Amino acid sequence: SNSLVWFRRDLRAFDHAALHRALTSSKRVYCVFVYDSEILDELPRDDRRVRFIHASLASLDAELRRLGGYLIVRQGRPLEVIPALAAELQVDAVHVCADYEPDAVERDARMKAALEAEGRQFLSFKDQVIFEKEEVLTLAKGPFSVFTPYKNAWLKRLAAMPETLASYPVDAYAHAFAPPTLPPALPSLEDIGFEPGEPPLPAGMEGAEELFERFVAHMADYGRARDFPSEDGTSRLSTHLRFGTTSIRHLVRTAQQMALSGAGGTGASVWLSELIWRDFYSMILARNPQIVTRSFKPAFDVLAWETGEEADAMFAAWCEGRTGYPLVDAAMAQLNQSGFMHNRLRMVTASFLTKDLGIDWRRGERYFALKLNDYDLASNNGGWQWAASTGCDAQPWFRIFNPVSQSTRFDAQGDFIREWVPALARLGAKEIHAPWLVAGEVLAEKGVVLGRDYPLPIVEHDVARKRTLERFAVVKKAA
């Protein structure tokens, strides 16, 4: 029997649930990736994620060929491409790793129906998360909406079922791959209508492993280092997790072993918690698809966000890093220029947009979606609703980040700001966090005239804070 493995956000050829199941159940296994034209059409022609995917497909094809198989790459609407290819290759079943985003769930339901109508199976396997939405429940068998008890239950379940982390081997069953008939001929970026260019970070399985090995060497210090954007203290694996060029089981297994052996210091268990946050937000979205456009806590849907021309101008200043708050502007420059933003800064910029500018979190969420290399609907929505206080287990609405104290705490020397806001590069640690408080002559000596070289603050934090407390008081009354 023949089967087809349809790769989506699982671009690797090791520890792969769908590939393993196909190889162990069929005689001939074909592999395909489809550049979804409906998604591609919406993207800028120099999109960094498309470059990452493109480079990762080359790595996937090379590995499949080493194992005796190959990757078929098509472009079009998956609902047309996959059934047609399944017919052409005469496969009995299409195997996939489950995707939990609402649009993907709907697409897969339609795919299943289309394939079944032609007498083929559509088989979907858990791969992207350790536990799916039904697997970690409260004692009353309900869903969690607060992270810490969820995490405790998650760890307990894993301790009871250590086999959850077992790898899905591929190598040992490689004889089942359908052999390539032609030499490699993957479409180039130009072939799919994009500008040529390098991926924004080392791509593919080897890119992920390189980053992970580097991170493992200093994982022990993660608990401290992760909060400082000028340090290279985090793994930078989020884009790899997004596209599945690494395996979540492999990462959790390593973190767990390092925590148990003591080699990972306290950092390993803190890092494991972050991986659990990822499962948590995936579960929250899978159970509550309405949160894509609505507050997790419905009472917060009454909030009246700022709208109109002035709000639009403020939003543009935020997007372009022209707020006059150096840490916020440096963070937005990092996002715009690299496609990455440090977690601390995602919290700071999201808080600034929603609490200092009073702008709807959905606008910020969409902007991040356009720009982030690691954009993931579940984690991004979770992070935004956390910052806006509308989410599950969110920051309470009366706790409002002060963008200047965040700056003095987490970029004390101003190194991160200097790296991303060249206009302020000559300011010292005392001046750089709030330049409008520094005497004009002192700034001028260092080549900065506010309003000319760098903006004055677009809002006063103390005033904005009061407005936000008033805005959210409505919720208190409604709740």
Residues of the binding site: 222, 234-238, 271, 274-281, 374-376
> Least distance to ligand FAD from the beta carbon of 212, Å?
10
Active-site annotation holder among 6, 154, 361, 386: 361
Find, among 34, 174, 180, the residue nearest to 107 by Cα: 34
User: What do you get for the CA distance between the two ends of the chain, in Å?
Assistant: 58
Please give the annotated binding residues for FAD, written as ranges: 222, 234-238, 271, 274-281, 374-376
Q: Which of 104, 277, 404, 450 forms a contact with ligand FAD (CB under 6 A)?
A: 277
> Least distance to ligand FAD from the beta carbon of 124, Å?
22
Q: Which of 219, 272, 347, 357 forms a contact with ligand FAD (CB under 6 A)?
A: 347
Find, among 79, 152, 149, 150, the residue nearest to 118 by Cα: 79
- 277 catalytic? Reply is yes
Q: Is 111 in the site for ligand FAD (CB under 6 A)?
A: no
- 343 catalytic? Reply is yes
Q: Of the two residues 376 and 431, which places its CB atom closer to ligand FAD in the complex?
A: 376
Which run of H or E residues covers position 326? helix 326-338
Q: Which of 59, 128, 230, 234 forms a contact with ligand FAD (CB under 6 A)?
A: 234
* Part in contact with ligand FAD (CB under 6 A); list of ranges 134-142, 147-155, 299-307, 345-353: 345-353
| Separation between Cα atoms, residue 63 and residue 171, nearest integer Å | 10
Residue whose tokens read 């989410």: 391
The site that binds ligand FAD (CB under 6 A) totals a number of residues, namely 28
- 305 catalytic? Reply is yes
Q: Is 376 in the site for ligand FAD (CB under 6 A)?
A: yes
Active-site annotation holder among 132, 231, 274, 306: 274
Q: Of the two residues 342 and 461, which places its CB atom closer to ligand FAD in the complex?
A: 342
Site map 180..219 versus ligand FAD, x via CB under 6 A = ----------------------------------------
Which residues make Cβ contacts (< 8 Å) with residue 163, sequence separation at least 6?
A: none
**At 10, which amino acid appears?**
D
Q: Is 227 in the site for ligand FAD (CB under 6 A)?
A: no
- 154 catalytic? Reply is no
Which residues make Cβ contacts (< 8 Å) with residue 358, sequence separation at least 6?
A: 305, 306, 311, 464, 467, 468, 471
Q: Of the two residues 122 and 296, which places its CB atom closer to ligand FAD in the complex?
A: 296
DSSP secondary structure, 112-161, as one string:
HHHHHHTT-EEEEE--SSSS-TTTS--TTS----SHHHHHHHHHHHHHH-
Q: Which of 227, 274, 306, 453 forms a contact with ligand FAD (CB under 6 A)?
A: 274
Asked whether 300 and 476 are in contact (CB, 8 A), the reply is no
Both tokens of 421, joined, read 């806001």
Q: Of the two residues 326 and 339, which places its CB atom closer to ligand FAD in the complex?
A: 339
29: β partners: 3, 177
**At 243, which amino acid appears?**
F
Q: Is 383 in the site for ligand FAD (CB under 6 A)?
A: yes
DSSP class of residue 253 equals H
* Part in contact with ligand FAD (CB under 6 A); list of ranges 8-16, 86-94, 238-246, 399-407: 238-246
Asked whether 15 and 97 are in contact (CB, 8 A), the reply is no
Give pairs for 35-39: CB < 8 Å, separation 24+. 35/73, 35/74, 35/75, 35/76, 35/187, 35/192, 36/76, 36/77, 36/78, 37/75, 37/76, 37/77, 38/77
* Part in contact with ligand FAD (CB under 6 A); list of ranges 163-171, 340-348, 389-397, 462-470: 340-348
| Separation between Cα atoms, residue 350 and residue 370, nearest integer Å | 15
Residue whose tokens read 């985090």: 234
- 381 catalytic? Reply is no
Q: Active-site positions?
A: 274, 277, 305, 343, 361, 384
**Residues in touch with ligand FAD (CB under 6 A):** 226, 234-238, 241-242, 274-275, 277-278, 281, 343, 346-347, 350, 368, 372, 374-376, 379-380, 382-384, 387
